[in-house]
């Protein structure tokens, strides 16, 4: 016999992470053995960390039902494909493409991108990394990957290389490290599209794209041709960086790509000798930009030598010091990005559901 009271209570339960009711699609299974109620619930985001609040809330909510003496909650992550720019078809093997961009170089975009990808993976998602910075590919070094891609069994695509569990593709795998890329815009765009579409991506929840810096023809063309679920803008508090970050925001706005949030890098500096904290690049700049554009500041990171050292060594912060405060900041950024994506409208043209047990 179905437990209608439990079903109704569960469907109306407000997810503490999204602020919205779970609804009927979330319930995967429900059974009761005397006073022991067992439920399986699907969520549209990784649940390694975020799931605990849902589990505790559901135990309390369902435990208050008459005749229920114990509640077991099993969460599964069902990350779906979400809407992209009009007229663009999804890419096989990828549910959601997230672009990480900046208006100018030198603000820590690539470092943020790789740690975001690793943090999403740590939260329980299947994640890939596309190094789209043709002129200065850095992800092979940051992920400690060496070698060349192999041809996939289909004979038509390349296998991504693996770095700390991430499926990764970069032009850096295809050229000599000292070889300069003296290509014009159309050649760069064509090369990036080939890297994206000729790679055999294997069932990714998220593909993080480390975009080239700037807002010129190459970046605009990529934003128009690549089906992007959302973008993350990386900046520093410095006025010059913010001027270019605003241009990046407008570029994505122009092609219909929503901004998932802004990350302020090098927000403050703490002296390793005396502990004095100083805003050497300015203060509050990213907050003001977010207020102007109606978006969210999803994280702020300090200017910290450990981030540079860890990334240069091929073990980014999320891998090198997973329990440290810096890694936890990256994971909070990843959680916000995942929740923002989950609340976007679904892409009805993609139908390859997957359920993976992430938390019990």
pLDDT digits (tens, 9 = 90+) for 195-216: 899 999 999 999 999 988 877 7
pLDDT band at 182 (very low <50, low <70, confident <90, very high): low
pLDDT at 357 > cutoff 80: no
pLDDT for 172 equals: 85
* Number of domains within the chain: 2
In a domain, 351, yes or no: no
pLDDT digits (tens, 9 = 90+) for 111-166: 999 999 999 999 999 999 999 887 878 999 999 998 889 988 888 889 999 999 99
Whole-prediction pTM: 0.91
Same domain, 106 and 55: no
pLDDT at 359 > cutoff 70: no
Residue 36 neighbours by CB distance under 10 Å: 12
What value does the mean pLDDT of the chain take?
A: 89
In a domain, 360, yes or no: no
Detail the residues annotated as belonging to a binding site for ATP.
103-110
pLDDT digits (tens, 9 = 90+) for 278-317: 888 888 889 999 999 999 999 999 999 999 999 999 999 9
State the CATH number of the domain containing residue 213: 3.40.50.300
pLDDT for 1 equals: 41
CA atoms of 197 and 94, how far apart (whole Å): 10
Detail the residues annotated as belonging to a binding site.
103-110
CA atoms of 353 and 95, how far apart (whole Å): 10
Q: pLDDT: is 281 or 76 the higher one?
A: 76
CA atoms of 128 and 165, how far apart (whole Å): 9
pLDDT at 77 > cutoff 90: yes
State which of 33, 49, 78 marks the end of a domain. Answer: 78
pLDDT at 45 > cutoff 90: yes
Same domain, 58 and 159: no
Contact 129, 168 (CB under 8 A): yes
Same domain, 72 and 100: no
Average pLDDT over residues 54-79: 94
Same domain, 16 and 102: no
pLDDT digits (tens, 9 = 90+) for 87-108: 888 899 999 999 999 877 888 9
State the CATH number of the domain containing residue 66: 3.30.300.130
In a domain, 288, yes or no: yes
- Sheet with 356-359: strands ordered across: 27-33, 36-43, 70-77, 356-359
pLDDT digits (tens, 9 = 90+) for 268-277: 988 888 888 8
Domain holding 286, by residue range, is 94-342
Same domain, 47 and 160: no
Same domain, 208 and 261: yes
pLDDT for 352 equals: 45
Contact 175, 136 (CB under 8 A): no
């Amino acid at each position: 016999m179905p437990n209608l009271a439990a079903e109704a209570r569960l469907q109306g339960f407000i997810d503490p992470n999204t602020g919205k009711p779970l609804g009927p699609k979330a319930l995967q299974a429900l059974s009761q053995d005397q006073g022991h109620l067992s439920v399986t619930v699907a969520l549209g985001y990784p649940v390694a960390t975020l799931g605990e609040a849902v589990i505790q809330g559901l135990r309390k909510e369902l435990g208050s039902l008459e005749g229920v003496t114990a509640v077991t909650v099993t969460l599964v992550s069902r990350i779906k494909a979400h809407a992209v720019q009009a007229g663009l078809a999804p890419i096989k093997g990828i549910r959601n493409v997230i672009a990480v961009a900046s208006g100018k170089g030198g603000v820590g975009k690539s470092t943020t991108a790789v740690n975001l990808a690793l943090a999403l993976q740590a939260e329980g998602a299947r994640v890939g990394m596309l190094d789209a910075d043709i002129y200065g590919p850095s992800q092979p070094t940051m992920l400690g990957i060496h070698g060349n891609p192999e041809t996939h069994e289909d004979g038509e695509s390349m296998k991504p290389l693996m770095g700390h569990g991430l499926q990764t593709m970069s032009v850096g795998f295809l050229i000599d490290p000292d070889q300069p890329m003296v290509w014009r815009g159309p050649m760069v765009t064509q090369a990036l599209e080939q890297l994206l579409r000729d790679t055999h991506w294997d069932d990714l929840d998220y593909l993080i794209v480390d975009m080239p810096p700037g807002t010129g023809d190459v970046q605009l063309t990529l934003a128009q041709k690549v089906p992007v679920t959302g973008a993350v803008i990386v900046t520093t508090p410095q006025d010059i960086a913010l001027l270019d970050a605003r241009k990046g925001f407008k570029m994505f706005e122009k092609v219909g790509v929503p901004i998932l949030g802004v990350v302020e890098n090098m927000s403050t500096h703490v002296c390793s000798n005396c502990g004095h904290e100083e805003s050497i690049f300015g203060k509050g700049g990213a907050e003001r930009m977010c207020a102007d554009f109606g978006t969210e500041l999803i994280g702020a990171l300090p200017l910290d030598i450990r981030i540079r050292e860890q990334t240069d060594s091929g073990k980014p912060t999320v891998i090198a010091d997973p329990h440290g405060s810096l890694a936890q900041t990256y994971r909070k950024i990843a959680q916000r990005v995942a929740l923002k994506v989950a609340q976007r409208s679904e892409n009805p043209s993609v139908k390859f559901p997957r359920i993976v047990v992430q938390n019990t």
